[in-house]
Structure 1
Amino acid sequence: MRVGQVIAAISALALGVWVSLPVAAQQASHPLTLNDIYGPGAVKLDEPIPSKWLGAGDAYTTVEASASTPGAVDIVRYDTATGKRSVLVDARLLLPVGGATPLAISDYAWAPGGRYLMLFVRAPSARRNNPIGDYWLLDLTSHTLRQLGAKAPAQSLLYAEFSPDGARVAYLSGNNLYVEASDRADVRQLTSDASDHILNGRSDVVYEEEFRLGKAYQWSPDSRRIAYWQFDTEGVGTFYMMRNTDTLYSKPIPQQYPLPGTTNSAVRIGVVGVEAPGTTWFALDGDPRQNYVPRIGWAGNSAEVLIQHENRLQNTNHVMIGDAATGATRQIFLDQDKAWLMPTDEVQWMQGGRSFTWLSERDGWRHLYLVSRDGAKVDLRTPGDFDVVSIERIDEKAGQVYFIASPDNVTQRYLYRAALTGPAKIERLTPANSPGSNDYRIAPGGRWAFHTVSRFDAPPVIDVVSLPAHRSTRVMVRNEAMRAAVAATPHAAPEFFKVDVGGGTQLDAWMIKPPSFDPAKKYPLLVYVYSEPAGQTVSDRWGGDRYLWHLMLAQQGYLVASVDSRGAASPRGRDWRKSIYRQIGLLASADQAAAVKAMIAARPYIDPARIGVWGWSGGGAMTLNAMFRYPDLYKTGIAVASPANQRLYNSIYQERYMGLPDDNAQGYADGSPINFAQNLKGNLLIVQGTGDDNVHYQNLEQLADRLISYNKQFSMMAYPDRTHGISEKPNTRLHLFTMMTDYLHQHLPAGDAK
């Protein structure tokens, strides 16, 4: 794969989009085919350019195909205001000494000050949350290129990061933490106690998945110290995945994976000096295997660390300050909830370290607060009956916070700004002519942003906008080919609506109808589900290959719909999201069934004898719950990568929403679809990758075993060595969706009925 292809693939994954539609679709109107969406002739979305702000944002860099070196890329600088272009790093500088092939860079980073450029080459064996590979450092003064960690095994480094002064780079190799000088190959090992069970500066698999913590270390502001996590995974249960495709004998792949109620990693936090290695450990109360440290950060200086220390139930967050010299800690703030809490990423120190920002649901909505250093004063800065979806930038100098929210339509996303001091004042910055889902990467100076906007059936457009006026100065990515392709294939506009399921509860939903829809006829309905607390399906955002597959099915005569049940991750307030606490799988599946019944009653063109359901991951579990709990309603289901038994998923996720198994044994049993397999009446296809390191293949085998015990007929497909996304190796996606489409055609016949 060439450099540009690597960058495009990684960038597309980051945006959640997939390749789609052949060029032929742009030239004449014709219904979609599976080859159009997943085949080798499919055209890609335009490359989302991996752009980086320079300085305060007056300029930025991108990666572009090189004119001087075929198959390679230049790093190009653009003046933000004028668009003036210049080649900042010629591709010829990215040739390793003695090499003829330019580096196939996956990402890059600028050192503070701009003298050094760090390049990342992702290893083919890297997992989705574990970006292992090689790092190279280019000195733009001497034009020399060298590999970092040159004595380490090839493709073995993780999470390299410049120090704040740019003089060093920290990285991980062999579960130990190292620093290397930027101007010479001077390597210093900061930890030396790593093993297969001791991980320094990197997280275990469940922190990585559920707390989004991969790089587990933080440079101090003065570049003299590093605070880091250490994970002791000794005693954590080991799950073995089996590889059977590449050797004569099967090869076990071990993964230490704590299940609900079992032994977790022991986690501690320490600080190590760069000049004088030796770790000072912080004093934290309680059993380190029964508590979590999901976040740390320097506390507005280089002498103290802010530590978020959560109990195992994840409903109490003890916010502490630790002394980096002595390890002593003191609690300064407490956040609690009767259900669960999420750790706060939006901590920024203000007023010279006298206060910090904090995101909390303490008033029933997710809002930003300004908290005094002693925790005595908590000041709400984004008041209102709406959720702050994310914080995009906190600008203390201007006294403003930029955030994403959508007070009037939870399926969309817009940029707002609020004052950090004085009377609360909130204003929307995204203009009315930019409906849908808007995402921003705001420059450090706050005057510019990379802006991405898409709609349910309209692919992303990326431009550079000025703030706060939101004037577009340059379109970076148009996706004109995709836009033309969608326009050229028959389709009706999606319908967004609400479904009343009684008791004053209205659920958000969308529906795609056949292009030649006739309300006098009857059609099969396929419901796309997720409705776990980790996601939202009813969103006015480009849906990638899922949207195109659903559109293809609509062209073939299906109605396709999706509904967000109570508990889905919609910005509808704390009570909405946490209504499903300790009853995952119960309330949401009841909401889904009630929504389908309400749609059947209100829409006579839905054929009640042809109701199908499908979903992936948590949506696969919801599919199983639909088929087993409401067997007279749903006739056909396709469950992909499904956690069939809540006791088989990881401890952090499952305990967060269900509590501990010893305290909620009945809830775990009632919420697990495997325990209702005896009720299956309809047609069920279950699909899993045997190399799934998130929802293990064990789920499929235990469910299949249970169905067999009840003499329930079903279909199943195992994808050898594929992981949770079932996308590795040639033609996998085409094969998967061909099988799924054929299954629907056979068991939920397409087309209308008089």
Structure 2
Amino acid sequence: MIKNCMILLAFVFISQSLTAQKNITVEDIYRGEFRTQGLQSLASLNNGTEYLVLNYNRDRTQTIDKYSYKTGEKVATLVNSADINLPIRDYILSDDEKQMMIISESNQIFRRSSYDKVHILNLETNKLTSLSDDLVRSPSFSPDGTKVAYVFENNLYYKDLASGAVIQATDDGVTNALINGVTDWVYEEEFAFVKAYEWSPNSEQIAFISFDESEVPEFSMDVYGNELYQKPYVFKYPKAGEKNAVVALHLFTLATGSRKEVSMGRNEEFYIARIKYSPNGKLAAQLLNRHQNVLNFFYVNPDGKASVAFTETDAAYVDVTDDLTFLEDGSFLWTSEKDNWRHIYLYDANGKEKRQITSGNWDVTSYYGYDTKSKRIYYQSTEDGSINRGIYSISLKAKKKKKLSSQIGTNRASFSKNFTYYINTYSSATTPPVYTLNNAKDGEKVREIKNNNDLKLKLNDYQVAQKEFSTININGNDLNMWTMKPNDFDPNKEYPLFMTQYSGPGSQSVANSWYGANDFWYSMLANEGYVVVCVDGRGTGYKGADFKKITQKELGKYEVEDQIAAAKKLGAMNYIDANRLGIWGWSYGGFMSSNCLFKGNETFSMAIAVAPVTNWRFYDSIYTERYMTTPQENASGYDENSPINHVDKLKGKFLLIHGSADDNVHVQNTMRMVEALVQANKQFDWAIYPDKNHGIYGGNTRVHLYNKMTNFIKENL
């Protein structure tokens, strides 16, 4: 039964009749009419009281300007693009803040990677030099600021800034065969990092990972462009159960120019998910087995000797994070779900657990850092409820916890280097983002930096549907849910139901935060006569590891059962037309919406799937096997829950959409699904967006896409 006590989150509008307001259009949304104002990316300086911002000026110049945290006033301009005769796309500051990398050109490769043109600016002498004549990858200063390492053509290099000498650390890199110092496609996408090397604290060694992908199968896709002939794009992509790159950890010693492979003592296949140096010069390496349910935390000495400090295991999988923080004595902070909730732990320098810092039936959702002066840890958590986020601090002794955020909703923090201040970003379903400067000690607001009150005023001219947050009991679980109804909702009428979801492992779609572009689309649909609902079913995040990991080895089973059951329960309500139930999703959500329409053919009458996985055998090894193991081990788990194997059940209306240049979820998924539907003699609609990747955007693409989906909904639901 749906809980009666809903938290109704309502917009406060200037008094106007609904007839004076206009409904939102797709063009309004995806051409940026409701875009929020944000803060430009800032870099905190070592003094903790000032920060840098890259500003784009009206005269088409770029400046890197210094500001005071306390006043918000500009203190100085460090660099002006007009003075150095280079555009400034991004910058990286050395640890001692005496030198700066200027990135003047950046060409994207995949989601997180790029080829960059880099110059080095000495901030003391104003001397500007080119790092390389070539576009390079993942440049970084040595800790002492005297050198810069980078990757070019799959080999690792470094440049001595004093002499100008360039030293090539590796020479065996080959495109689509062996990579040194940056990650392959699947690591970049699923372990979320690109720079696969680290400087030692004394700047005397570089630890790096190599990827031998010579036996990894290749995937190719055509890029059509504007030429007479299309061009094939070929790259290494390990699908579930196929061969991965063979990884190895190496140490390069600058003084001798020698390279040594570190023996990890492992005979079975493994992933190197993270590397990071401790202050004492030891390298910490996190190794996962291929199933990703055993994580070994290795220490590697400068001489290359490796040993396991501790091991973490899980019946399902161990999540990898960037939360590892070393303290001055070599002890470290670590987050883990080993008590069913993600919490912070303190380990000694040898890898022995000393104490659990945070505890309770809630998750630490972001770890912000440790202040050595106050000996306090700063973090974000779900202590205000799983759909909310609050900011907290706690002592290293797990005492004197303080709540720093004051408003219920979504709070995010960005701390100054010495933890004097933090910038809090607050939003909720009724409040667009507000940026404030706060004291880290007690959370007290120093000043408001920016708000989005102009957007709130603009929205007074539009019909904006409210989000009603509640829970719905499905299959014995109280699932988080939001509902949007037409502003002129009449409980005595019947409305079609349109469900949205993502449902992927650990994800969250029901959150008390400001509207994204899709939320305005849902509002538009609501005010055109639909009840729109989102339910986070089993397998989603922030309700404990057991709730999240119940889908292990059966992706698409419990999540689909929950969506179908929720649709049935909602369809039984007096104001819902049970014969007009639709669902949609993108990526994992498209996998889900396809499954719901096929398996729930007596419940759903319509579905839209955008860029869906249609068979987990087609998706990458790291993501898929984390949850499913391999197809060789778990064939039934793959086949029974992949929608391509249930096309014969299709009864309703189905729209299938994909971008032809999707390097992530390959258009192969849609093409194979199309063939299966054709052979099952099932009628459906589909669309391919040429040369568009997983995001399907660029130019007028999003407007076209969402108008297509809107028209399909209106015609079929």
TM-score over 0.5 for the pair: yes
Distance in 2 (CA, whole Å) between partners of 1:225 and 1:575 is 42
2:503 matched to which residue of 1? 531
Q: Deviations over 1:163-196 (max 9, x none)?
A: 2222222211111112223456432222221111
Range 210-219 or range 702-711, more displaced: 210-219
Out of 660, 667, 678, which is 1:708 matched to? 678
Out of 182, 194, 198, which is 1:202 matched to? 182
In the alignment, does 2:346 pair up with 1:370?
Answer: yes
Secondary structure at the residue paired with 2:432? strand
Distance in 1 (CA, whole Å) between partners of 2:162 and 2:56 is 28
Which amino acid in 1 is paired with 2:592? Answer: M
> Alignment identity in percent?
33
The Cα of 1:656 is off from its aligned counterpart by 0.4
Range 231-240 or range 140-149, more displaced: 140-149
1:341 matched to which residue of 2? 318
Out of 27, 33, 36, which is 2:28 matched to? 36
Out of 313, 317, 342, which is 2:291 matched to? 313
The Cα of 1:148 is off from its aligned counterpart by 1.8
Alpha-carbon contact 1:457-1:547 (below 8 Å) kept? no
In the alignment, does 2:129 pair up with 1:146?
Answer: yes
In the alignment, does 2:242 pair up with 1:242?
Answer: no
Distance in 2 (CA, whole Å) between partners of 1:32 and 1:58 is 43
The Cα of 1:591 is off from its aligned counterpart by 0.8
The Cα of 1:117 is off from its aligned counterpart by 2.1
2:426 matched to which residue of 1? 453
Indicate how the Cα distance of structure 1 residues 265 and 629 shifts in structure 2: closer, same or farther if over 3 A, else same: same
1:405 matched to which residue of 2? 381
Alpha-carbon contact 1:191-1:277 (below 8 Å) kept? no
Distance in 1 (CA, whole Å) between partners of 2:68 and 2:372 is 25
Secondary structure at the residue paired with 1:579? helix
Distance in 1 (CA, whole Å) between partners of 2:42 and 2:108 is 25
How many pairs does the alignment contain?
Answer: 697
Alpha-carbon contact 2:414-2:423 (below 8 Å) kept? yes
Secondary structure at the residue paired with 1:246? coil
Alpha-carbon contact 1:66-1:91 (below 8 Å) kept? no
Alpha-carbon contact 1:645-1:674 (below 8 Å) kept? yes
2:45 matched to which residue of 1? 54
Distance in 1 (CA, whole Å) between partners of 2:102 and 2:452 is 27
The Cα of 1:723 is off from its aligned counterpart by 0.2
Range 53-62 or range 731-740, more displaced: 53-62
Which amino acid in 1 is paired with 2:478? Answer: Q
Out of 365, 369, 393, which is 1:393 matched to? 369
Alpha-carbon contact 2:427-2:513 (below 8 Å) kept? yes
Indicate how the Cα distance of structure 1 residues 572 and 627 shifts in structure 2: closer, same or farther if over 3 A, else same: same
Indicate how the Cα distance of structure 1 residues 92 and 670 shifts in structure 2: closer, same or farther if over 3 A, else same: closer
Distance in 2 (CA, whole Å) between partners of 1:363 and 1:36 is 46
Alpha-carbon contact 1:283-1:328 (below 8 Å) kept? yes
1:87 matched to which residue of 2? 76
2:451 matched to which residue of 1? 478
The Cα of 1:351 is off from its aligned counterpart by 5.3
Distance in 1 (CA, whole Å) between partners of 2:333 and 2:38 is 35
1:542 matched to which residue of 2? 514
Out of 700, 706, 709, which is 1:731 matched to? 700
2:547 matched to which residue of 1? 576
Secondary structure at the residue paired with 1:132? strand
Alpha-carbon contact 2:279-2:328 (below 8 Å) kept? no
Distance in 1 (CA, whole Å) between partners of 2:188 and 2:56 is 34
Q: Deviations over 1:501-558 (max 9, x none)?
A: 143x110010111111111111111111111105211111223211111111112111
Q: Deviations over 1:33-66 (max 9, x none)?
A: 1221124x84743253121111131111213344
Alpha-carbon contact 1:688-1:700 (below 8 Å) kept? yes
In the alignment, does 2:246 pair up with 1:277?
Answer: no
Unmatched 5+ stretches in structure 2 = 1-19
List aligned pairs for 1:218-617, cutoff 5 A.
Answer: 218-287=198-267, 290-302=269-281, 304-325=282-303, 327-350=304-327, 352-353=329-330, 355-421=331-397, 424-431=399-406, 434-503=407-476, 505-568=477-540, 570-601=541-572, 603-617=573-587
Secondary structure at the residue paired with 1:358? strand
2:604 matched to which residue of 1? 634
Distance in 2 (CA, whole Å) between partners of 1:543 and 1:236 is 41
The Cα of 1:361 is off from its aligned counterpart by 1.3
Alpha-carbon contact 2:362-2:386 (below 8 Å) kept? no
2:10 matched to which residue of 1? none
1:18 matched to which residue of 2? none
1:643 matched to which residue of 2? 613
Which amino acid in 1 is paired with 2:297? Answer: V
Indicate how the Cα distance of structure 1 residues 125 and 64 shifts in structure 2: closer, same or farther if over 3 A, else same: closer
Which amino acid in 2 is paired with 1:576? Answer: F
Distance in 2 (CA, whole Å) between partners of 1:397 and 1:88 is 30
2:658 matched to which residue of 1? 688
The Cα of 1:91 is off from its aligned counterpart by 2.2
Out of 103, 118, 127, which is 1:120 matched to? 103
In the alignment, does 2:65 pair up with 1:76?
Answer: yes
Q: Deviations over 1:350-390 (max 9, x none)?
A: 3511x222211111211111112333434111021211112
Secondary structure at the residue paired with 2:648? helix
Alpha-carbon contact 1:689-1:719 (below 8 Å) kept? yes
Distance in 2 (CA, whole Å) between partners of 1:509 and 1:183 is 59
Out of 702, 714, 717, which is 1:745 matched to? 714
Indicate how the Cα distance of structure 1 residues 545 and 556 shifts in structure 2: closer, same or farther if over 3 A, else same: same
In the alignment, does 2:142 pair up with 1:163?
Answer: yes
Q: Deviations over 1:430-487 (max 9, x none)?
A: 11xx221111111121111122122235332223222122233343432344333333
Indicate how the Cα distance of structure 1 residues 520 and 229 shifts in structure 2: closer, same or farther if over 3 A, else same: same
Range 245-254 or range 590-599, more displaced: 245-254
Unmatched 5+ stretches in structure 1 = 1-27, 97-101, 749-754
Q: Deviations over 1:533-592 (max 9, x none)?
A: 052111112232111111111121111111101111x21111111111111000010011
Distance in 1 (CA, whole Å) between partners of 2:475 and 2:615 is 29
Distance in 1 (CA, whole Å) between partners of 2:226 and 2:507 is 35
List aligned pairs for 1:162-181, cutoff 5 A.
Answer: 162-181=141-160
Distance in 2 (CA, whole Å) between partners of 1:534 and 1:120 is 35
Alpha-carbon contact 2:219-2:235 (below 8 Å) kept? yes
2:11 matched to which residue of 1? none
Distance in 1 (CA, whole Å) between partners of 2:107 and 2:286 is 34
1:107 matched to which residue of 2? 90
Alpha-carbon contact 2:539-2:550 (below 8 Å) kept? yes
Secondary structure at the residue paired with 1:202? coil
Distance in 1 (CA, whole Å) between partners of 2:632 and 2:333 is 36
Secondary structure at the residue paired with 1:675? helix
Distance in 1 (CA, whole Å) between partners of 2:173 and 2:567 is 53
